[in-house]
Amino acid sequence: MARVVLENISKTFLGPKRVQIQAVRDFSIEIQDQEFMVLVGPSGCGKTTILRLIAGLEELTSGIIRIGHQEVSRVEPKDRDVAMVFQNYALYPHMTVYENMAFSLKLRKFSKGEIDLRVRQAAETLELGSVLNRLPPALSGGQRQRVAVGRAIVRQPKAFLFDEPLSNLDAKLRAQMRLELRRLHRQLAATMIYVTHDQVEAMTLGDRIAVINDGMLQQVAEPLELYHHPANLFVAAFLGWPPMNFFHGIIETVRGALWFEAQDGVPDGSHKSGAVWAMEIPSEFSNALTGYLGRSVTLGMRPEDIQPVPVPETTHSSRPNPPEQGTLPNGTVELLEPMGAESFLHLAISGGRCVVRVPPTFRPTPGDRFLLQFHLERAVFFDPETGNAIR
């Protein structure tokens, strides 16, 4: 196995009327030996193009690709010693499972003994020993996917490349195959690069995750680092379900402390429409936010970091208290989504909407009102002009 290094790679395609379409833009990343790296992003963001560039199926416009100690930027695909597993399996329907897995080794003129040894070892690893003599049409979707993986394993490549291999499977089988891929990674101690648009797959599979948008790397980090400390608004919104809630407001100072005052209207800092609710910001944010005094910021809160509490019976007005007293957002229930082990509570609040993660026993009805307690110590603040997190 080997590490894979991409240095400032770019790829430009010619579209209709020879218009240039830049699919990958100055992309750099280092994937460590034996690491499971996941490339995640929305459809059309360039992640599959990056995988095909590594495999040599697309030609670089600029940049450098290294696999192990060798630069392979202009090396033919067959000489890069990588194995790719495609979304559509790409099995030969007229060949048995055994013949499909052995085919690439026959092309490389391995001996019959070596071919048989590698195929049967891979079949044992993937629990395919009982179907080696079957044709692909006689297999289930999960078995076909394992055959496609087995065909890559027998080659014993420097790196495995997976292009959304589970997207054709149903939800239960996808969950099962995710576990099998993690087990396989540990067993083979292999370098694996995995492309998906599914953020749940990314979070559960990757040692590290590279988030991509519009052909550019947004952030690369371990799953929980991305979840709790996103680098920008795109990463914050893309990773996690339900998505992070965003609230627009102004940073003000009250009695020497910094406060977040939520605002109605556009979050561009062009005007203040009056605070609809206000909360004191924990002191650990002081250094980062002092420079934003009087300016617009975006507050990000995960659904599990907002707690609904009953509205006191003495509360008869939705008018906010003076900022120095603080005001909890007042939310009206719009929808409750029961998910089994938890529920998602959708609320309309002053200045927008939000989603709260609640226990399954919490059963409000549409129209019920709650005050929302924010655990601001777990908040993330963003600059609305750049989209970057304020550190």
- Whole-number mean pLDDT of the chain? 90
Sheet containing 380-382, strands listed edge to edge, beginning at the edge strand earlier in sequence: 275-280, 257-263, 245-254, 296-301, 380-382
Sequential DSSP letters for 253-278: EETTEEEEEEESS-SSSS----EEEE
* Mean pLDDT (whole number) for 149-173: 89
Q: Give CA–CA dist 98/111, Å, rounded.
A: 15
What's the pLDDT score for residue 264? 72
Indicate where the chain has its CATH 2.40.50.140 domain(s): 245-382
Phi, psi of 226 (to 5 degrees): -65, -40
Q: Which fold has domain 245-382?
A: OB fold (Dihydrolipoamide Acetyltransferase, E2P) (2.40.50)
- Judged against a pLDDT cut of 90, whether residue 119 lies above it is answered with yes
Cα atoms in the Cβ-side hemisphere of radius 13 Å centred on 53: 32
**If pLDDT is split at 50, 70 and 90, which confidence band does 266 have?**
very low
The whole-number average pLDDT for the span 350-357 is 87
- Average pLDDT of span 161-176: 86
- Residue 298: phi, psi to the nearest 5? -115, 125
Report in angstroms the alpha-carbon separations of 262 from 93, 222, 251, 368: 60, 32, 9, 22
Q: Is the pLDDT of residue 194 over 90?
A: yes
pLDDT of 325 higher than 50 = no
Q: How far apart are CA 40 and CA 46, in angstroms?
A: 10
* pLDDT confidence band for 127 (50 / 70 / 90): confident
Q: What average pLDDT does the segment 63-71 reach?
A: 96
What pLDDT does residue 271 have?
A: 43
pLDDT of residue 326: 55
Q: Is pLDDT above 80 for 149? A: yes
**Interval 333-339 mean pLDDT:** 95
The token pair at 344 is 């998602």
**Total-model pTM:** 0.88
Q: Which residues contact 54 (CB under 8 A, 6 or more apart)?
A: 4, 6, 65, 67, 80, 82, 159, 161, 193
Decide if domain 4-238 falls under CATH 3.40.50.300.
yes
In this prediction, what percent of the chain has a pLDDT beyond 70?
93
b/e 354-370 (16+ beta carbons within 10 angstroms → b): bbbbbeeeeebeeebeb
pLDDT band, residue 314 (cuts 50/70/90): low
* All CATH 3.40.50.300 domain ranges in the chain, comma separated: 4-238
Query: What are the tens digits of pLDDT across the range 202-248?
Result: 999 999 999 999 999 999 999 999 999 999 999 999 999 999 999 99
Q: Is the peptide bond before 137 cis (omega within 30 degrees of 0)?
A: no
Higher pLDDT, 14 or 300: 300
At residue 385 the predicted structure's pLDDT band, cuts being 50, 70 and 90, is: very high
Task: Tell me the per-residue pLDDT of 276-310, one tens digit each, with 9 for 90 and over.
Answer: 889 999 999 999 999 999 999 999 999 999 999 98
What SS3 class is residue 379? coil
